[in-house]
């Protein structure tokens, strides 16, 4: 047996491992980057796409269809607007014509009302002069029923240049938010001071004052007999010009106006005039009348 050849001895040891065997998970991911299911789906999609239209062509066809639809909508809208345009224009012209006719009618009615008011005022003035007896002219004058002119004073009052300036003085207790502006109370005191100083007739910005006149405020506006006035306020008074001016400036109301100028910058200029002209009151409301024996009606 010693002479018989021996079979080669096979080694039972395992083959040497790969250098990256310790990174088997990373190796598997790199070798199989696309899952088999995803790969199969991609293959089916590619096969189906090859049988139909290319993706780029389908996108172009879709865009063209969208543009055609948008153009159709715009065309239909333009056609409808073109059809409706004459109707809208006709309705607009009819509305404008109606507004113009109604405006003309309203202006005509306002003219008729003004004419009737003037006629009533003229008849009232004539009645006062005719039936007022010896005092008829004076009664018409005091009632503001007639226009009056003669010597007098002109007093111009205006807001301060900076209407928020000033402090204290005669307005401290009045709590005015804007002490540099002329208020209805100021004009009331000025008018009362002129009457007390001997004025025979007074008007503010062309509005004749009577025993029934009221000077009030509505917001920032000053109203005389419900008619708004705009500064500067021009007060005209008929009387002995120089005497009336001096007496008013020395009166408490004249001193009040002077204090407004000194403390708040309100402008006040008074001058004696050789002649001032005051209009008649817009209308004279006769609330009641009682006949008097030998003196007509009053």
Instruction: Provide block-wise average pLDDT over 10 residues at a time, the chain (298 residues).
Output: 50 54 59 62 63 64 82 81 74 88 91 84 72 64 78 93 53 55 92 93 91 87 89 93 93 93 91 90 63 50
> What is the predicted pLDDT for the residue at 288?
61
> What is the predicted pLDDT for the residue at 1?
45
In this structure, the answer to whether residues 129 and 159 fall within a common structural domain is no
In this structure, the answer to whether residues 139 and 201 fall within a common structural domain is no
HEC per residue, the chain: CCCCCCCCCCCCCCCCCCCCHHHHHHHHHHHCCCCHHHHHHHHHHHHHHHHCCCHHHHHHHHHHHHHHHHHHHHHHHHHHHHHHHHHHHHHHHHHHHHHHHHHHHHHHHHHHHHHHHHHHHHHHHHHHHHHCHHHHHHHHHHCCCCCEEEEEEEEEEECCCCCCCCCCHHHHHHCCCCCCCCCHHHHHHHHHHHHHCCCCEEEECCEECCCCCCEEEECCEEEECCEEECCCEEEEEECCHHHHHHHHHHCHHHHHHHHHHHHHCCEEEEEEEEEEEECCCCCCCCCCCCEECCCEEC
In a domain, 294, yes or no: no
In the chain, how many domains are there?
2
What whole-number distance in Å separates Cα of residue 75 and Cα of residue 180?
Answer: 65
In a domain, 142, yes or no: yes
Tokens coding 210: 């009577």
In this structure, the answer to whether residues 154 and 269 fall within a common structural domain is yes
In a domain, 92, yes or no: yes
Of 160, 170, 157, nearest in space to 268 by CA: 157
In a domain, 43, yes or no: no
What whole-number distance in Å separates Cα of residue 246 and Cα of residue 237?
Answer: 13
In a domain, 1, yes or no: no
3-state secondary structure of 284: coil
In this structure, the answer to whether residues 138 and 157 fall within a common structural domain is no
In this structure, the answer to whether residues 232 and 258 fall within a common structural domain is yes
Where is the domain boundary, 115, 146, 177? 146
In this structure, the answer to whether residues 227 and 253 fall within a common structural domain is yes
In this structure, the answer to whether residues 134 and 171 fall within a common structural domain is no
CATH number at residue 210: 3.30.70.1880
In this structure, the answer to whether residues 214 and 186 fall within a common structural domain is yes
3-state secondary structure of 63: helix
In this structure, the answer to whether residues 85 and 172 fall within a common structural domain is no
**Facing residues of 273 across strands?**
152
3-state secondary structure of 235: strand
In this structure, the answer to whether residues 89 and 139 fall within a common structural domain is yes
Q: How far apart are the first and last CA of the chain?
A: 177
> What is the predicted pLDDT for the residue at 66?
84
Q: Which structural domain range is residue 101 located in?
A: 54-146
In this structure, the answer to whether residues 102 and 180 fall within a common structural domain is no
Neighbouring residues of 20: CB distance < 8 A, sequence distance ≥ 6: 26, 27
Quick check: pTM over 0.85? no
Encode pLDDT of 188-218 as tens digits: 999 999 999 999 899 999 999 988 888 999 8
> What is the predicted pLDDT for the residue at 215?
92
In a domain, 231, yes or no: yes
Where is the domain boundary, 129, 146, 163? 146
In a domain, 198, yes or no: yes
In this structure, the answer to whether residues 95 and 156 fall within a common structural domain is no
Tokens coding 96: 């404008």
In a domain, 33, yes or no: no
């Amino acid at each position: 047996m010693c002479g018989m050849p021996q079979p080669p001895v096979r080694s039972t040891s395992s083959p040497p491992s790969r250098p990256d065997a310790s990174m088997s998970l990373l190796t598997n991911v790199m070798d199989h980057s696309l899952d088999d299911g995803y790969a199969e789906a991609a293959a089916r999609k590619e096969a189906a796409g090859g049988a139909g239209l290319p993706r780029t062509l389908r996108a172009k066809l879709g865009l063209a269809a969208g543009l055609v639809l948008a153009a159709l909508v715009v065309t239909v809208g333009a056609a409808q607007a073109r059809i409706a345009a004459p109707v809208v224009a006709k309705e607009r012209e009819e509305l404008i014509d109606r507004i113009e006719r109604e405006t003309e009618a309203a202006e005509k009615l306002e003219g008729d009302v003004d004419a009737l008011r003037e006629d009533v005022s003229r008849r009232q003035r004539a009645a006062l002069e005719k039936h007022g007896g010896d005092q008829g002219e004076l009664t018409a004058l005091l009632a503001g029923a007639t226009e009056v002119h003669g010597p007098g004073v002109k007093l111009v009052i205006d807001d301060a240049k900076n209407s928020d300036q000033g402090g204290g003085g005669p307005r401290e207790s009045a709590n005015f938010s804007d002490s540099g502006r002329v208020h209805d109370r100021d004009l009331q005191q000025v008018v009362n001071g002129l009457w007390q100083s001997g004025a025979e007739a007074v008007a503010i910005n062309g509005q004749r004052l009577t025993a029934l006149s009221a000077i009030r405020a509505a917001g920032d506006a000053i109203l005389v007999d419900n008619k708004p006035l705009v500064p500067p306020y021009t007060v005209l008074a008929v009387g002995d010009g120089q005497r009336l001016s001096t007496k008013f400036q020395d009166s408490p109301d004249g001193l009040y106006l002077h204090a407004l100028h000194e403390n708040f910058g309100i402008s006040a200029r008074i001058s004696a005039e050789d002649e001032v002209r005051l209009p008649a009151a817009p209308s004279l409301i006769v609330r009641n009348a009682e006949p008097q024996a030998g003196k007509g009606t009053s």
